[in-house]
């Protein structure tokens, strides 16, 4: 578990700086940039709560140590944009979008804003993107943070890898899928989704199913607002093999959402092991509801890496 949750590392003077003047603080501080990569069917809007909470951490530092030190705040830039085919880019043809397009987009954000010392954060499908970005931008990435994210073994593609949870359901129970708990019906639900994908990509889940699988724990009105913004997910990135070579020597954290019904917690823990020896943090919440309802706790966690 990460000890920084609920603590304000930005608002506290580090032990090695105690007794020094503000000049010593200013020179010693190293700023950290954050790049937040959304998941399948989402947009940069999914990060609104985390961005606001993380921004407050920077403002808290300024209030405690003086506004003239604001540029030296440990939390520097916080960047969240829409991936190709998502959010404001949803008009783009998803049938032509590849995993490389996602990676190129994120690399472009970082290079365009000249970000360095980056904590790269990804939710869900973005777990496929983070390792490839780290490979391209060696030396710029400080830490990778996976939030309920897909981290398949290097072969086969992510969707096939996700489907291997089928192996954990006893054969005698597969014939009675309708009577299984929701999380154990996951393979059958995924197969149903595949039947409805077209050349454009995977369409958003039906509202009732999305609320049950993705937004469990959220008020109906809040969940409806989120579900209404979900868009078609390009299919090709989900079946593209990924390389995890760049992750092995890089600090990483995997956050398990303990009420996730799309990616059950046990499955998340198994995928976390594909990263090697990451820090593993557990937070309550579902696949999307965890990200929304635990925004402050996530921001606390991220600020601890500044």
4 domain residue, yes or no: no
Is residue 140 in a domain?
A: yes
- Residue 3 falls inside a structural domain: no
Per-residue pLDDT of the chain (306 residues; tens, 9 = 90+): 444 343 333 333 333 333 333 344 444 467 899 999 999 999 999 999 999 999 988 765 555 544 444 444 588 899 999 999 998 998 888 889 999 999 999 999 999 999 999 999 999 999 999 999 999 998 999 999 999 999 987 654 555 445 443 433 334 334 434 444 555 555 555 554 554 455 566 777 777 878 888 999 999 999 999 999 999 888 888 878 888 888 878 999 999 999 998 888 998 998 999 999 999 999 999 999 999 999 999 999 999 998
User: Per the domain annotation, does 5 fall within a domain?
Assistant: no
The answer to the question of residue 296 being in a domain is: yes
Q: What's the total number of domains in the chain?
A: 1
Which is it for the CA torsion 107, 112, 114, 115, positive or negative? negative
Instruction: Report the chain's C-alpha Rg in angstroms.
Output: 20
On whether residue 6 sits in a domain, the answer given is no
**Residue numbers of the domain that contains 248:** 15-303
CATH label of the domain that carries residue 70: 3.40.50.1820
Burial of residue 215 (CB within 10 Å: 0-12, 13-18, 19+) is buried
- Is residue 9 domain-resident? no
pLDDT of residue 131: 95
Task: Write down the residue that tokens 């594909």 correspond to.
Answer: 274
Residue 7 lies in a domain: no
């Amino acid at each position: 578990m990460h000890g920084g949750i609920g603590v304000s590392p930005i608002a506290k003077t580090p032990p090695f700086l105690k007794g020094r003047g503000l000049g010593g603080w200013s020179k010693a501080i190293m700023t950290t940039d954050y790049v937040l990569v959304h998941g399948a069917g989402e947009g940069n809007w999914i990060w609104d709560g985390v961005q606001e909470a993380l921004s407050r951490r920077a403002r808290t530092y300024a209030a405690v140590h003086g506004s003239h030190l604001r540029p030296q705040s440990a939390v520097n830039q916080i960047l969240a944009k829409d991936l190709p085919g998502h959010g404001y880019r949803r008009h783009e043809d998803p049938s032509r979008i590849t995993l490389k397009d996602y990676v190129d987009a994120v690399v472009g954000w970082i290079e365009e804003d000249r970000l360095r010392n980056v904590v790269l954060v990804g939710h869900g499908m973005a777990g496929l993107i983070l390792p490839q970005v780290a490979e391209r931008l060696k030396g710029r990435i400080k830490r990778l943070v996976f939030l309920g994210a897909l981290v398949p073994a290097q072969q086969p593609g992510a969707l096939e890898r996700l489907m291997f949870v089928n192996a954990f359901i006893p054969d005698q129970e597969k014939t009675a899928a309708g009577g299984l708990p929701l999380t154990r019906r996951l393979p059958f639900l995924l197969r149903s989704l595949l039947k409805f994908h077209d050349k454009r990509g995977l369409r958003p889940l039906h509202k009732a199913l999305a609320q049950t699988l993705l937004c469990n724990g959220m008020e109906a009105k809040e969940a409806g607002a989120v579900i209404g913004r979900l868009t078609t997910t390009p299919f090709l990135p989900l079946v593209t093999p990924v390389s995890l070579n760049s992750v092995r020597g890089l600090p990483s954290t995997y956050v398990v959402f303990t009420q996730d019904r799309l990616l059950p917690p046990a499955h998340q823990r198994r995928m976390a092991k594909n990263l090697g020896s990451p820090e593993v943090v557990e937070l309550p919440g579902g696949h999307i509801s965890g990200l929304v309802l635990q925004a402050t706790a996530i921001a606390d966690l991220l600020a601890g890496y500044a």
